[in-house]
Amino acid sequence: MEVASHYRSFGGEQLFCRHQSEETGTEMRFAIYVPEAAQHGSVPLLWFLSGLTCTEENFTTKAGAQRMASRLGLALIVPDTSPRGPGVPGDPAAAYDFGIGAGFYLDATVAPFAEHYRMESYLTRELQIALPQRFPIDVQRQSVMGHSMGGHGAITLALRHPRLFSSVSAFAPISSLTNCSWGQKALRGYLGADPTAWRGHDATLLMADGHRIKHLLVDQGTSDSFIATQLRPDLLAAACAEARIDLSLRYRDGYDHSYYFIASYVEEHLEWHAHHLGCDELVVR
């Protein structure tokens, strides 16, 4: 694991790293913020899963989350959104919503994508072992949040791996992959044409099939152009109500789908996760 660049930030260190992944068979990149509190022992870990076309840089450079992460003593990790490199199929110039930059946080099962597109195993298996070997983090205390495609990833991975994450939140998540064109395209391309293989990667269907999380925080902008066609928070609300999952769905008047929206409320999400991770007291006052 190589640190490609690092920067001092709010007393901690913002690092951009790369390593050879066994799961994807490619070089993978991620960003990690290590707060000053890590000098005194392992700290909890909060994941941020980004949306379509993003890399590990978007949230890291635009959201302004390091200040609050430092105050709360939280490490932040932002993985890339897909494998990249020679031989990886999925030209982003041909389609922004499938292939490179659009891994959808699942393991593909059909050729030619199955060889490299193993984002679920990369996040929930490989990095679970690799990160604590390199950084002072406590993987027994970790939570996850995400935006859009990454919001889908955060919710579905929390449902599929309930013992891994203490809490989950999302900004404008894709609530039901089977009920939007982005999701249908990804599911067909990565998992094949049989819809029965899709159920395990749709948050609403996972809930209907008995998968559970204790609580869920979601912020959704009312001026988001994707709300009615791709995101469908109404379906998420109905599924949570049926499954009796404690959902806090907050509609934010006038906000859109951009990082201006995320930056406006990201500190509230960090504080919410810190509470569920047992970090009620601010480390730095």
Active-site residue identified among 148, 166, 169, 175 = 148
Per the annotation, the verdict on 42 as an active-site residue is: no
Residue 21 · residue 51 · CB < 8 Å: no
Distance from C-alpha of 82 to C-alpha of 29, rounded to nearest angstrom: 9
Q: Where are the alpha helices (DSSP H) in the chain?
A: 57-62, 66-72, 119-121, 127-134, 149-160, 181-191, 203-208, 233-243, 259-276
Whole-Å CA distances, 111 to 90, 95, 149, 191, 231: 12, 18, 22, 9, 28
Chain-centroid distance, C-alpha 11: 25
Instruction: Using DSSP bridges, classify how beta strands 215-221 and 168-171 pair: parallel, antiparallel or unpaired.
Output: parallel
> Which amino acid, one-letter code, is at 47?
W
Per the annotation, the verdict on 224 as an active-site residue is: yes
Residue 154 · residue 173 · CB < 8 Å: yes
Per the annotation, the verdict on 209 as an active-site residue is: no
Active-site residue identified among 257, 269, 273, 276 = 257
Instruction: Find tokens 């509190």 and name the residue.
Output: 37
Whole-Å CA distances, 61 to 56, 57, 64: 9, 6, 7
Cβ-proximal residues to 208 (8 Å cutoff; 6+ apart), any chain:
239, 242, 243
Residue 40 · residue 252 · CB < 8 Å: no
Active-site residue identified among 224, 269, 273, 276 = 224
3-state helix, strand, coil in the chain (%, to 5): 35, 25, 40
Residues designated catalytic: 148, 224, 257
